[in-house]
Chain A
Amino acid sequence: MAKTYIAYISLYYIPQGGERMTQQAGKSKFSVQFIAAVIVALIVGVAIGFAASGFFAGPQQGQPQQPAGGQPSASKKVIQIGFTLPLTGSLSSIGKIWEKVAQMAIEDLNKEVQAYGFNVEFKAVILDDGTSVDKAVSNVQTLAQQGIKVVIGPAASSQVKAVKSFADSNQIVIISPSSTAPTLAIPNDFIFRTVGSDAGQAKVLAALAFQEGARKVIVFHRNDEYGNAFADFFAKAFTQFGGKVVDMPYQPDLSDYAADVNSLASKVQTEQADAVVLISFDTDGGNILSHAAESSILSSVRWFLSEGPHGAAELKTPAVGAFAAKVKLLGTRPLFVANPLYEEFKQKLKEKYGVDATVFCDTLYDAVQLAGWAILRAGSNDGNAIRNALVEVAKHYYGVSGWTIFDSAGDKAYQDYGVWAIVKTGAGYDFKDVGFYQNGQIIFTEKPYP
């Protein structure tokens, strides 16, 4: 590393003569080529260095590890689990929390497996993919090249799709905790998802909206794969109930959505809608709600949200909180209701890292647990064996996200959904789960809004 930087820096200080010079001097040309050669040599050297260090320090399945730094756990077999998470880029605010969840999950997993007498230690290899497709692919490749067979992530469906081809042909098991695109429900591949598909949640959201009395709703959704697919499913379910749906996409990744919210308000007025269904992520959702709070039209209709904005700090502000109370804002999210494990997990995360569990933290945690046990069950570092083991392990596992059984397409088969609201607490406003979905209807455990 350091070497490469030094090489770069030394480059800037090459004498300026070269610029003025014409083609007379073969000498200078030579020196440039020489420098280029040196750089290439350095890079290759560094590469070989890494390769060599990997050779000495990397995980060698089936062989006891040489101690690196004389740790007491020297005799333990180290097994690496790869992660590619959005630590930078548009999903970075939840990615940062996921990073901590991943660390915690690995720690817990180690404790658990060692308690069972396995002499192994799992190690997280966390890479950032910046929510970019190219980086997700190169991360998965890099992880695979280190001998890692199970990779958790990437977050976005577009990324999962791009790594699918490499994963399938190289037998790398991919477990995404948050990809929900219906087009990825492909049987017999190496892609697993520990989260229920949007189709399920859209149905719950539709049931919620209908049960709450909405008959004509405007679906205001991100114009990306997540938003469009969710909106489609919602529309299908809601029309089945007998309601009417007006579709209204907005372009994500803008700096502000005031103009879009304004269009929404006029749409609500012209269509005489009685509710708005917002399908968004956290940042855009917070932005939209804080603008909506200023509009009298939008304050007079009901609001129903997807799981995206759940947990976002922007929604805890007084303005949005008051707005939520006014419009009786309710949202759905994948959740195993009254799951004591989840409550414990939430608390532990808060104590240990000081962060609140957001959306998909539970699915990520369970993805890690499943991966670990599947590797142990497979007993070898063979992708195919791990895949088969994963399916089996998941059948007998109940984690913070509930039952983890996979369906034939490798997606979570049984997903419960909870209803959340923003309620006033002593310190301000906070998220609260106030109900759940059962047998086609929403059952409220408490009344969030007076």
Chain B
Amino acid sequence: MLPLDQNTIINFLFYSFFYLLFAVPLTLSYRTTRVLNFAHANFITYGAYVAVFLNGLLGNQSLLLSCLLAFLVSGTLAVASHIFVFKPLSDRGASMSLIMIASMGLWIMYNYVLYMLADIAHALSGVNFVSYGRILYNDVPEIMIGSLRLSGGFIAVSVAAVGMVVFLSFFLNKTLLGKAMRAVADNPVLAEISGIPRNKVITVTWVITGGIVGIAGAIWTSFSGTVTPTTGDAMILQVFTVAFIGGLVSLVKTGIGAFVIALIENVGISFLNAWFGVPTSFRTFLTFVTLLVILIAFPPLGAAGGLPFRYRRKRGEAR
């Protein structure tokens, strides 16, 4: 029996769109800045908590307002990380792993700042912010298609995901800054020589990355049943897996990765459960296995600082 019903499809799309919104900016930021940013998880969580604080402290019920503020907050966070940490490090010629570790430090730091903020907010209002239920917004409509009910959160995430794809494809292909961004991604040295303002490009990349992810985080509060300060952390491994499917280089492949992982997590595990009795708690396990399989079968050569060729066991085994 195929476990394919309306809800499965809706859920699959939900996850796909969220992974798209979380992972495409990650790939974008990596390929432009060469920083594998663990603090990406914080952009998600901060976006979500902007919405949570607005709702819990001020009673805000507008998703649009939450998204706007989340864009600002997460975008600022991203740019601040760049200006105060990543830029000084890369200016000094620190290695890629070192910057990666610095982002790990930022990740831990931001996380606890959020816990502290939740504590302060708790002291102010008496509301428990460490685990916050789904927020109902009054400015996103529900749509009924026949018997199919599309929730406000679904409308919001679809609009955001489609909006991001349209925006990015326009921005990267048509605008000067976007083209410069691609040039920096392709060859930073050459881009610098040819007079592209690399620094400006990178700053803009961070704004876009943090901003989009922040918006997605805010929308997440209208989808997920609970928001906690570890919301982003618990998801970041999947998001990275999605981005790795794109080799951290290709935005299109990352997009495909989002759908693949969403498919595995929503439909694949149900199939395995129905047919082979694999426990459904293997859901995340499956994601990581996918990652390992991809790395073994199609190593992303040259991506993320690896050897630019495949080490051969025998003469001329592969090229």
- A interface vs B, CB < 8 Å? 88, 90, 92-93, 96, 223, 248-251, 253-260, 262-267, 269-270, 282-284, 286-291, 294-295, 297, 312-314, 317-320, 354
Contact = CB atoms under 8 A, between A and B. Distances in A.
B83 interface: no
A126 to B, nearest CB: 16
B133 A317 contact: yes
B235 interface: yes
Given A93-B128, A270-B1, A312-B131, A260 B280 contact: yes
Contacts of A297: 5, 7
Interface string B1-28: 1010101100100110000000000000
B267 to A, nearest CB: 9
B130 A93 contact: yes
List 9 A-B pairs, minimum CB-CB distance, nearest first. A287-B225, A290-B225, A266-B3, A255-B234, A314-B133, A223-B281, A251-B281, A249-B281, A287-B226
A407 B293 CA distance: 52
B231 A255 contact: yes
B32 interface: no
B30 interface: no
Contacts of B151: 294
A290 B134 contact: yes
Contact of A248 (B127, B136, B230, B280): B280
Given A249-B279, A267-B273, A314 B130 contact: no
A266 B225 contact: no
Interface in B125-153: 126-128, 130-134, 136, 151
Given A256-B225, A266-B270, A92 B281 contact: no
Contacts of A254: 234-235, 283-284
Given A255-B234, A270-B3, A287 B280 contact: no
B103 interface: no
Nearest to A92: B130
Nearest to B151: A294
15 contacts: A248-B279, A249-B279, A251-B284, A258-B11, A258-B14, A260-B283, A262-B11, A262-B270, A263-B280, A264-B280, A286-B131, A288-B225, A290-B134, A313-B128, A354-B126
B128 to A, nearest CB: 5
B226 A283 contact: yes
B228 interface: yes
Please tell me the size bucket of the interface on B. 35 or more
A258 B224 contact: yes
A317 B273 CA distance: 32
Interface of B: prevailing SS: helix
Nearest to B2: A266
Nearest to A266: B3
B7 A263 contact: no
Question: Most chain-B CB neighbours within 10 Å: which of A248, A262, A270, A282?
Answer: A262
B131 A314 contact: yes
B134 A223 contact: no
Nearest to B284: A251
A396 B225 CA distance: 44
A45 to B, nearest CB: 27
Contacts of A258: 11, 14-15, 223-225
Interface in B213-241: 223-226, 228, 230-235
Contacts of A312: 131
B266 interface: yes
A318 B270 CA distance: 30
A265 B7 contact: yes
B224 A313 contact: no
Contact of B265 (A93, A255, A259): A259
B269 interface: yes
